[in-house]
Each structure stands twice: as structure tokens, then as C-alpha cells.
Structure 1
Amino acid sequence: MSSPNPFPEQFADRLAIRELVDAYAHLADRRDAQGQAALFTEDAHVAVYDGEPGAEPAQTLNGRDELAAAFGSLRNYDKTTHFNGQSTVTVDGDRATGETYCLAHHLWTEEGQRTLMVMSIRYHDAFVRQDGRWLFAERRLIVDWVDRRPSTA
């Protein structure tokens, strides 16, 4: 007897993980730091790198409380838009890994000058399914480049 077709389950898992990644960006742009932190496991680890990982991370965060505090810093900007691009995901049972590209746009005004900062980011993620729901277990945020320039309204 042949084994059942795993495609529907894999498709559902990949869709759920993409929705998780997109929810992170959506909540970031809505300034919902608690909602963002709830997308992570209780003991999640996040590391931020300026360029390829190899050196020590510029910032590390552990657990939902530290994540929520850090995510709250987005309130310093007038507006943000996180635009997720291509992504890859490999699912292995209740665990998965993936990489997602993101262009993160940040607008603020300082001393009467409006500024736009665009960051090219790659997220290297480890996901885990807990109680039937996919969550981030680990996220490595890699900043490939940053462009800062004056912006007009």
C-alpha cells in the first residue's frame, strides 16, 4: 500500500509559516509589540547582525519580555512599512527553517527634516509547532544594507 500524499500537509504548514512571517511585519507596522512577541516561543532567541553572521551579533534578545521591549522601539518612527519578499521554508515534522527577504522602510522627522531609511534584511528563522500553531523559536536578522535619505511629504 502506498503512503498517503504528504503534499496537503506540507502546503498547509508552509502557508501557516508564511502567515506567521507576514503577521510579524503587519504587527510591526501597527506598533503592536506584545502581539509581535506572542508570535515567538516563550524562550525564543533573536540575534541582529550588521552583515553576514560570523562576528558577534549587534544585539541579542531572549524571551518574549525582551522581544516586546525591543519591538516597542518602532514607536520612535512616524511610520514603518515592512515588505516581505521571497522566502524559502523546509518543514521537518513540528520543526522548520527558513529564510525571508524584507525591505523595511522607516520614516521620521528630526529638526524639521523628514528622513527615510530603507533596510535590506534577511531573516534566518527556526520555527516550531506548539499546540498546533507555528511560532518563531529563533530569528537571525541580517542587515545587508541601509539607505538613509531626506524625504518629502
Structure 2
Amino acid sequence: MPQTITPEEAADRLAIRDLIDAYAHCADRRDAAGQMALFTEDTAFHVFMDSKAPEPTYALHGREALAPVFADLNQYRATTHFNGQSTIRLEGNSATGESYCIAHHLTVDGEKRTLMVASIRYLDQFVKQDGAWLFAERKLMVDWTDTRASAP
């Protein structure tokens, strides 16, 4: 039997997907302020450079703590975060989800070009505040990376 989705649930799912996509868009446009605005004031952001590690490589707490992480993207000439499948479980004004991303990071040093590709999964906790969905917690899980020479 097909699952029935209410218009409200459909709207929430679309808003959460827009939030996930806005994060990638802000990252690629180097809009750190816009990216930070997607998180709650008391957010938690955990980065696992090895997704199999039991503890994060680093953990940040609070929206303002995110600024240096997002500014770190400025080291790259360009990035492209391509979002793939996602799952979202709604529970009123909160939700959890997992989304996949293939992130491309281009470095140019003189004539040398390097492309690092990362397979990332985000494990998210979302909250709806004042009618808008935000990240309450985001775990960035790096499953693998591939770094290679790049030609223009």
C-alpha cells in the first residue's frame, strides 16, 4: 500500500532538502555567513575525517564556532559539492536524516593543479524554529578521498 504524505509533511521534506542544498551552495560560493545562518545558535558540528573512527577529528559547538571551518574552503580555487540521495525522518518540529555528497576540491599552485574528491555522508538532526528548518547537529562523515593531478 502506498504511503500517504500530508501536504505539511511534503512541505517540511522539501524545506529540509532545500536546507541541505543551501549548505552546499553556500560552501561553493564561499558564503560563510549564509552557511552559518543555516544552523541553530547552539548547534554541534562534528567532523569525522575517517567515518569509521569512534571519535570525531574535531567537534565545534555554537554557530559562531563554525566561521573558521567554512572560511577554510578559501584555500581551494573552486569546490563543487554534488548532493545525492537523502533520507529524512520527521517527528513534529524535529527530524533526523542522512544525506550523501560527492565534494570536489580544486587546488591551483602556480602551474600545478590538484583535485581532491571526497565521498561524504552527513548525519543530521534538524529543528524547525520560527517556521524555518535549521541544522541542530551535523556530523560530516568522510568515507573516502581520492587526490590526483588535474589538467585544465
Provide TM-score, normalisation by structure 1.
0.93
Structure 1 position 112, deviation (Å)? 2.5
Q: CA separation in 2, counterparts of 1:79 and 1:6?
A: 39
Mind listing any 5+ residue stretches in structure 1 that lack a counterpart? none
Q: 1:149 is matched with which residue?
A: 148
Instruction: Name the SS for the 1:140 alignment partner.
Output: strand
Q: CA separation in 1, counterparts of 2:5 and 2:143?
A: 36
Instruction: Name the SS for the 1:90 alignment partner.
Output: strand
Q: 2:124 is matched with which residue?
A: 125
Q: 1:41 is matched with which residue?
A: 40
Structure 1 position 134, deviation (Å)? 0.2
Structure 1 position 56, deviation (Å)? 1.6
Q: Residue type of the partner of 1:76?
A: Q
C-alpha distance after superposition, 1:48-78 (max 9, x if no partner): 1133355221011111111122101101100
Q: CA separation in 2, counterparts of 1:50 and 1:74?
A: 15
Q: 1:67 is matched with which residue?
A: 66
Instruction: Name the SS for the 1:19 alignment partner.
Output: helix
Q: CA separation in 2, counterparts of 1:36 and 1:50?
A: 20
- The number of residues matched between the two structures is 149
Q: Which runs of 4+ in 1 moved over 4 A?
A: none
With 106-115 and 118-127 compared, the bigger mean Cα shift is at 106-115
CA gap of 1:23–1:8, structure 2 versus 1, over 3 A, is same
Does 2:107 align with 1:108?
yes
C-alpha distance after superposition, 1:92-143 (max 9, x if no partner): 0000000000000000112531000000000000000000000000001100
Q: 2:7 is matched with which residue?
A: 8
Q: 1:76 is matched with which residue?
A: 75
Q: CA separation in 2, counterparts of 1:16 and 1:86?
A: 15
